[in-house]
Amino acid sequence: MLAKYGTLNNFLSTVKGYNPLHIWYLDPAAGNDSTCVANNVALPCKTWGATHGKIAAGDAIIVRAGVIDENANYTVPHSGTPGNPTIVMGYPGELAHFDHSSSAGWYGFEGQPVLDDF
């Protein structure tokens, strides 16, 4: 993907027609919730809770490979607009697994995100 399109933003725009306002990376293995920032793959968040707390309508959450396991629904509070939806997708070529270590009432994603993987 990077060899062909150069950047993730160019890939999203060219292939999917997505133009996120900000991209938040979620990496359960290498992330850090206290230092994560938007638009920087080298400074990802570690947990869904931290990432969720930073996004706004029209942003994207790009999830790196690994298991995301939280005792809560994965809520996407901002649906965005048709031109700038809130996007949740796996990093191209990587597989993320969303789980719950406790099944007590937790079901999965809530909200109206565009869910995508490549």
The answer on pLDDT for 21 being more than 60 is yes
Within a domain: residue 17? no
- Asked if residue 62 is part of any domain, the answer here is yes
| Inter-residue contact 58 to 81 (CB < 8 Å) | yes
State the Cα–Cα distance between residues 59 and 21, nearest whole angstrom: 5
Residue 79 pLDDT > 90, yes or no?
no
Q: In this structure, is residue 97 part of a structural domain?
A: yes
pLDDT class for 40, splitting at 50, 70, 90?
Answer: very high
Comparing 17 with 100, which gets the higher pLDDT? 17
* In the predicted structure, residue 68 carries a pLDDT above the cut 70: yes
Q: How is residue 39 annotated by DSSP?
A: T
Q: Locate tokens 């939806």: which residue?
A: 85
Cβ 81 vs Cβ 56: under 8 Å:
no
Domain span at 63: 22-102
Q: How many domains does the chain have?
A: 1
CA within 13 Å, CB half, 86: 18
pLDDT beyond 50 at 59? yes
Per-residue confidence band for 110, with pLDDT thresholds at 50, 70 and 90: low
Q: Is residue 6 part of a domain?
A: no
Mean pLDDT of 68-89: 75
Decide if 65 is inside a domain.
yes
Q: Is residue 56 part of a domain?
A: yes
Residue 79 lies in a domain: yes
Instruction: Give the DSSP H/E element, type plus range, for residue 3.
Output: helix 2-5
pLDDT at 52 over 70: yes
Put residue 84 in one of left, alpha, beta given phi > 0 → left and psi -120 to 50 → alpha.
Answer: beta
The percentage of residues in the chain with a pLDDT greater than 90, rounded to a whole number, is 30
